[in-house]
Amino acid sequence: MAHSHGPPGAPDMAQLQAMLEAQTKPKELISFRAGQLNMSHNGTTVVADKRRGKLSLVLSMEDGLLHLQWVQRPTGQLQESDDIMIPPRSAAFEKVPECKTGRVILLRFKQGGRKRFFWLQEPKGMSIVHRPSCLQSAALPHLVLTTYPHDV
């Protein structure tokens, strides 16, 4: 017969460890299929990275910061350079008006002028990725999002 070292009904070590892991596990706020775009050498256009990916906004329970993560599909590989910590109110998602299909979004950092472009790989009927307001509700209060009147 196994002996318990705690009061009756108290969690055992395995249960305590599972509870601790659940509290420190990152919380995915939103994710969708998206590729990356890289700035061309002349700095005026972007060029698509042909790899398929998934873009996620993840709230880290360890540092309390929002992370933007781009993971290559279908391998699930996340490179360190594709895990971007975003301090509160330091970046904004924007639609790129020059993109005629409306399928390119920009993450613009307020300091340093850093930019990351992504192209949406979701089917056209997936409205969550066509409206920055959907990103806004997932990311607040961490991101400032630029929305446009037609994003209702």
| Model pLDDT for residues 35-74, shown as the tens digit of each residue | 999 988 888 889 989 889 999 888 888 888 888 999 998 8
Domain total in the chain: 1
Is 49 part of any domain? Answer: yes
Q: Quote the domain boundaries for residue 35.
A: 26-145
pTM, two decimal places: 0.68
Lookup: tokens for 106? 């920009």
Is 75 part of any domain? Answer: yes
Is 1 part of any domain? Answer: no
Is 2 part of any domain? Answer: no
Is 6 part of any domain? Answer: no
Is 63 part of any domain? Answer: yes
Query: Residue 31 maps to which CATH number?
Result: 2.30.29.70
In the chain, DSSP assigns E strands to: 27-39, 46-48, 53-59, 66-72, 83-86, 91-95, 104-109, 115-120, 144-145
pLDDT reading at 130 higher than 50: no
Is 150 part of any domain? Answer: no
Is 3 part of any domain? Answer: no
pLDDT in tens, 7-44: 666 677 777 676 666 666 778 888 888 999 998 888 88
